[in-house]
């Protein structure tokens, strides 16, 4: 079983130690502590972090900013935001930050392990939150439509996408996970991850949603809205 490099990014040494303890039974988890005030981006790069468990309560604005930076500069690092508040407004901002999951800091060990594994597989557990919060889902869709209708400028596009990248982006636009896309196209999930990284780099996109908005606005892909 491949090892999963996990960074626990929280100001509280006590909380980091607690998370480290409850996850230590997972033999494939390589757990690392990181103080968010001590250059976390450099830490992520140096340790090839697969999953970042990020506390956004230090304050919230800085936590969300860090999440956006990770999504932008290290798109292969999956951000899971852990919050003591867990409300719809924070969920909306979390989605905008590029995080793939949003969980209560008081969640069970079993649930935390499940979310980490799903995130590492390329899934988006944050979709579960949207299913439970239809008002937030509608707000996200409305903003997505607004972004897509803005006619975003092409100057930011660093290079044209290949037909395969457009094909993959089309699947992403219609809600498919990396694993699902890999199954449909008959290629490995790691290959899909590599293509997604290339897409984000070429489009100068912060995250997958930003890449889809650019692609829709330029009519490279279409979205099936039900």
Residue-wise pLDDT tens digits, 62-101: 888 999 889 888 888 999 999 887 788 888 888 888 888 9
Joined together, the tokens standing for residue 196 give 């997604």
Mapping DSSP to helix (H, G, I), strand (E, B) and coil, where does residue 32 land?
A: strand
- Cβ count within 10 A of residue 2: 7
- Cβ count within 10 A of residue 223: 16
Tell me if 74 sits within 8 A of 45, measured CB to CB: yes
Percent of the chain whose pLDDT exceeds 70: 85
Q: Phi first, then psi: what are they for 81, rounded to 5°?
A: -90, 130
Residue 224 pLDDT: 60
Mapping DSSP to helix (H, G, I), strand (E, B) and coil, where does residue 191 land?
A: helix
Q: Where does residue 111 fall: left (phi above 0), alpha (psi -120 to 50 degrees), or beta otherwise?
A: alpha
| Closest residue by Cα to residue 54 from 68, 24, 109 | 68
Report the predicted TM-score, pTM, of the whole model to 2 decimal places.
Answer: 0.65
Residue 162 pLDDT: 79
Domain boundaries, the chain: 4-133, 149-217
pLDDT of 158 > 60? The answer is no
Architecture of domain 4-133: 3-Layer(aba) Sandwich (3.40)
Third-level CATH fold of 149-217:
Arc Repressor Mutant, subunit A (1.10.10)
């Amino acid at each position: 079983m491949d090892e999963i490099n996990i960074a626990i990014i929280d100001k509280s040494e006590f909380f980091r130690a607690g998370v480290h303890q409850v996850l230590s039974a997972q033999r494939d988890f390589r757990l690392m502590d990181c103080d968010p005030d001590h250059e976390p981006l450099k830490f992520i790069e140096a340790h090839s972090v697969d999953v970042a468990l990020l506390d956004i309560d230090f304050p919230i604005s800085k936590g969300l900013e860090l999440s956006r930076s990770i999504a932008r500069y290290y798109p292969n690092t999956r951000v899971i935001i852990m919050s003591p508040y867990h409300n719809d407004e924070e969920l909306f901002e979390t989605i905008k930050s590029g995080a793939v999951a949003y969980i209560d800091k008081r969640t069970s060990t079993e649930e935390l392990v499940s979310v980490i594994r799903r995130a590492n597989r390329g899934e988006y557990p944050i979709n579960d939150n949207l299913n439970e919060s239809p008002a937030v889902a509608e707000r996200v869709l409305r903003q997505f439509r607004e972004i897509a209708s803005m006619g975003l400028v092409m100057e930011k596009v660093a290079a044209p996408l290949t037909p395969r990248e457009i094909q993959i982006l089309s699947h992403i636009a219609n809600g498919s996970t990396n694993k699902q896309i890999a199954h449909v196209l008959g290629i490995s999930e790691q290959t899909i991850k590599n293509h997604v990284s290339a897409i984000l780099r070429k489009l100068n996109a912060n995250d997958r949603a930003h890449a889809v908005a650019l692609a829709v606005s330029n009519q490279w892909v279409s979205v099936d809205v039900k």
